[in-house]
């Protein structure tokens, strides 16, 4: 075992946990879950059956990741983030055959207490602000805030708001990387 599990955590047989991962107090990893290398699951985290977490995924306290969620490498899920898997849940109606896939692409951040309605893709380095409610796909590098979530800017891979000049170029204040805004999308150049 090349990972750490706190004694109060429950790790079901049939899951896969990568090297260097840490799983903290009162967390539960269910059968069929796949967790990559060097992940960190905070206190009271649920990783449900068939969830996939890539490498270096950080899940803060009190997050439930339900079946249908796929997180690529370097994803950050803030405290209390909510990830759903059924569009129209009812207690008396079994809809396990209607789970929607939510794909969170490399480097995306979901802020504290944000809600991601299932069936959408958050593209590379998308940044969902605290408390935002995401109801549609999110472009790469987009900053989403509010309820309902609206795009209010663009973020660098380092998590800084990008300010574009008249030539549609911006520089990350931390990394010095150059970005370009073209036809409504941002890319690193």
The residues spanned by each domain of the chain are 4-157
pLDDT score for 1:
78
| CB-CB contact of 129 with 109 (8 Å) | no
| CB-CB contact of 68 with 100 (8 Å) | yes
pLDDT tens per residue across span 72-124:
999 999 999 999 999 999 999 999 999 999 999 999 999 999 999 999 999 99
How many residues are there in the chain?
A: 189
pLDDT score for 163:
98
In the CATH hierarchy, which top-level class contains the domain 4-157? mainly beta
- Give the CA radius of gyration of the chain: 17
Collect all residues with Cβ–Cβ distance below 8 Å to 169 and sequence separation of at least 6.
Answer: 178, 179, 180, 181
User: Residues 96, 129, 127, CA angle at the centre, nearest 5°?
Assistant: 80
Point out the residues of the chain with pLDDT beneath 70: none
pTM over 0.85: yes
């Amino acid at each position: 075992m090349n990972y750490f599990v706190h004694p109060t955590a429950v790790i079901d047989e049939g899951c896969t946990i990568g090297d260097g991962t840490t799983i903290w107090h009162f967390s539960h990893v269910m059968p069929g879950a796949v967790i990559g290398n060097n992940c960190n699951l905070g206190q009271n985290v649920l990783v449900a059956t068939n969830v996939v977490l890539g490498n270096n995924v950080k899940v803060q306290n009190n997050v439930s990741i339900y079946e249908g969620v796929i997180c690529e490498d370097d994803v950050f899920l803030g405290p209390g983030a909510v990830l759903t898997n059924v569009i129209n849940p009812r207690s008396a109606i079994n809809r396990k055959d209607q789970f929607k896939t939510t794909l969170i692409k490399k480097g995306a951040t979901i802020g504290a207490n944000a809600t991601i309605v299932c069936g959408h893709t958050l593209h590379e380095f998308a940044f969902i602000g605290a408390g935002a409610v995401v109801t549609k796909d999110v472009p790469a590098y987009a900053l989403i805030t509010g309820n309902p979530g609206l795009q209010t800017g663009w973020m660098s891979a380092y998590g800084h708001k990008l300010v574009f000049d008249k030539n549609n170029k911006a520089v990350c204040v931390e990394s010095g990387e150059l970005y370009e805004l073209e036809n409504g999308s941002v890319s690193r150049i």
